[in-house]
């Protein structure tokens, strides 16, 4: 293999005009780096004997330099010596005396100097003693920028990346280390992150769908299947930031909530007026106050259950499912109004219509809103069998509250497009995402 190095070098240096360092040669021919250095020398000598100046070399000189070498950028003056200090403990400062009389310990400084062929003699002169010199690289023409030599090593890193250094590098003369510890299975670079937030909510839209279809049956209103179908898509897309747990509980609970409400409201107002405003009102109230009511109540309910009646537990658990959902559903809008926006889509349409705005009066004065609204209250009663039964009942309450807090409005930018679309086209298309809480806020 080493016999044909001249050929290889001729091709790469003369024909291809590559920069070839001893390392590239040793890698290419799988020879020891010291042998590669000799090959470079041999090739350089022979070629230049044939045609002077045809191959240009850089040399690496090692040795010790003169103490006052011109290249030593002011370094040689002081740092070659070591002042062995005797410490006098008392003071940090006084314990570091500049004892000039102390004989300076000579610190060995060895230099490795990379130099172009034409400056070789000049460079050699700066050395006090040269311990070794070898050809670092060869190139066909003169080297304009010596820094381009770094390309050789970069190429090696790229071309021989697949080589196992622990096995292959021995032949290049790399110092071997028997103690090296490397993890056995190289971990593959992880695949591109699979946008987890988008992927995870998948189950939830399904739940919504299921609930939604129930809804449409229960409330004998004109349910619109296509929008319902479209929902999951929208949810997935528009809810990238929502944590999945929150979303899940919210999605289900919300639907149940809706079920209850749509049942009652369906009876209440058979005349369906497709309008945005009531919907918004409804959402708003739920977000603002209703939630708090329920949150306060629910813990009591569960407490009472566990304390009062042990045997009722099973039965209670059946219902608890509903309660918890409700709880979550109501609690969350407080925190994340945006979640509600995303939820309020075409499924809500029936309810939106059934929510009669005449029954809910809202008056705004002095920055406060007053009015009556309907909320769902939970009542826990013992039935004739002694079981605890929790019922959700609509009740009216009057309220007065501050104008919507600005922090809720902050969330609005999430769905400006939907708002605009709504404002413009009404609800003609049964567009998913309509009737969201933000449309209410933005209009105020």
Partner 1 sequence: MKDDDLLSAPSDQQYVSLERTASTYTPLATYNLPKGENRHYQQQYADMYFARLAQLKPAVEKLASEAWAEFEIAGETALRKDRVLDVRQGELCWVAGTVYMEMPLKPNVLEDIGKEHWIAAPPPRIKYDSGIGLGIMLEDESGRLRLTGGFLHECLLVTGAIVAVVGTENKDGDFEVLDLRVPDLPRQPVRWELEDGNGALNGKATQEVRPTAGKVAIVSGLAISGDEGDTLLLDLLLEYLLGECAEPSMQGDAAKVSRLIIAGNSLSNSSPIPTREEVVAASKKSGRKIYGYDSSSYNAAPTDRFDQWLAALLPSMPVTLLPGEQDPTSTSLPQPPIHAAMFPHARAYMSLPQAREDASWFDSTTNPAEFNVDGFRFLGTGGQPVDDVYKYISDCEERLEMMEAMLRWRLTAPTAPDTLWCYPFQDGDQFVMKECPHIFFVGNQPKFETAVIEGPVGQQVRLVAVPKFRDTGELVIVDVETLVPEVVKFEIFEEG
Of 122-161, binders to partner 1 (CB under 8 A) are 122-123, 131-136, 145-147, 149-150, 153, 157
Q: Does 119 interact with partner 1 (rule: CB under 8 A)?
A: yes
Q: What value, to the nearest 5°, has the Cα angle with vertex 15 and ends 14 and 19?
A: 60
The answer to whether 373 and 278 have CB atoms below 8 angstroms apart is: no
Q: CB nearer to partner 1: give 29 or 325.
A: 29
For the sheet with 20-21, list strands across it: 20-21, 127-139, 56-65
Q: Does 112 interact with partner 1 (rule: CB under 8 A)?
A: yes
Task: State which of positions 423-442 bind partner 1 (CB under 8 A).
Answer: none
Task: State which of positions 182-211 bind partner 1 (CB under 8 A).
Answer: 182-183, 186-187, 189
Sign of the Cα torsion 240, 242, 243, 248 reads negative
Burial zone of 222 (CB within 10 Å; 0-12 exposed, 13-18 middle, 19+ buried)? exposed
Nearest alpha-carbon partner for 214 in 262, 178, 167, 170? 262
Q: CB nearer to partner 1: give 107 or 424.
A: 107
Q: CB nearer to partner 1: give 176 or 398.
A: 176
How many Cα atoms sit within 13 Å of 427 on the Cβ side? Answer: 24
The answer to whether 60 and 127 have CB atoms below 8 angstroms apart is: no
Candidates 10, 14, 109, 295; binder of partner 1 (CB under 8 A) is 109
Query: What phi and psi values does residue 365 have, to the nearest 5 degrees?
Result: -150, 135
Q: CB nearer to partner 1: give 105 or 313.
A: 105
Q: CB nearer to partner 1: give 142 or 429.
A: 142
Task: State which of positions 30-89 bind partner 1 (CB under 8 A).
Answer: 32-35, 37-39, 41-42, 45, 60, 62, 65, 70-73, 75, 78-79, 82-87, 89
Candidates 111, 213, 263, 302; binder of partner 1 (CB under 8 A) is 111
Candidates 92, 191, 192, 367; binder of partner 1 (CB under 8 A) is 92
Chain centroid to CA 261: 40
- Residues 155 and 147: their CA atoms lie apart, in Å, by 14
Q: Does 99 interact with partner 1 (rule: CB under 8 A)?
A: no
Candidates 30, 110, 379, 410; binder of partner 1 (CB under 8 A) is 110
Q: CB nearer to partner 1: give 20 or 234.
A: 20
């Amino acid at each position: 293999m080493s016999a044909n190095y001249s050929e290889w070098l001729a091709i790469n240096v003369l024909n291809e005009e590559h920069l070839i360092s001893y390392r590239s040669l040793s890698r290419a021919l799988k020879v020891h780096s010291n042998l590669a250095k000799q090959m470079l020398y041999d090739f350089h000598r022979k070629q230049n004997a044939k045609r002077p100046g045809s191959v240009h070399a850089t040399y690496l000189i090692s040795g010790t330099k003169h103490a006052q070498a011109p290249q030593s950028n002011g370094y040689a003056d002081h740092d070659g010596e070591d002042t062995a200090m005797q410490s006098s403990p008392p003071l940090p400062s006084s314990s570091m005396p500049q004892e000039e009389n102390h004989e300076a310990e000579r610190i060995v400084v060895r230099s490795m100097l990379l130099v172009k062929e034409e400056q070789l003699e000049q460079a050699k002169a700066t050395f006090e003693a040269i311990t070794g010199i070898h050809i670092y690289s060869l190139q066909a023409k003169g080297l304009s920028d010596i820094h381009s030599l770094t390309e050789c090593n970069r190429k090696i890193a790229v071309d021989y990346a697949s080589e196992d250094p622990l096995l292959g590098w021995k032949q290049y003369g790399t110092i071997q280390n028997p103690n090296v510890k490397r993890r056995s299975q190289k971990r593959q670079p992880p695949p591109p992150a699979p946008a987890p937030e988008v992927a995870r909510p998948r189950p939830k839209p399904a739940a919504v769908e299921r609930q939604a279809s129930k809804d449409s049956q229960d409330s004998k209103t004109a349910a619109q299947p296509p929008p319902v179908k479209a929902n999951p898509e929208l949810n997935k897309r528009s809810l990238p930031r929502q944590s999945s747990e929150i979303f899940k509980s919210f999605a289900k609970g919300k639907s149940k909530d809706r079920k209850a409400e749509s049942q009652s409201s369906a009876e209440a107002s058979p005349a369906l007026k497709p309008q945005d405003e009531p919907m918004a009102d409804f959402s708003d109230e739920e977000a603002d106050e209703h939630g708090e009511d329920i949150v306060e109540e629910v813990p009591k309910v569960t407490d009472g259950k566990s304390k009062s009646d042990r045997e009722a537990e099973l039965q209670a658990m059946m219902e608890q499912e509903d309660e918890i959902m409700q709880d979550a559903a109501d609690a969350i809008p407080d925190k994340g109004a945006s979640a509600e926006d995303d939820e309020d889509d075409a499924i809500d349409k029936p309810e939106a219509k059934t929510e009669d705005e005449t029954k809910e009066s809202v008056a705004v004065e002095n920055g406060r809103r007053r009015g009556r609204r309907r909320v769902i209250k939970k009542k826990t009663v013992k039935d004739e069998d002694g079981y605890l039964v929790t019922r959700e009942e609509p009740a009216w309450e009057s309220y007065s509250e501050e104008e919507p807090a600005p922090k809720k409005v902050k969330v609005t930018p999430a769905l400006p497009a939907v708002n605009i679309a709504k404002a413009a086209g009404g609800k003609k298309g049964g567009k998913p995402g309509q009737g969201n809480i933000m449309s209410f806020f933005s209009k105020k």
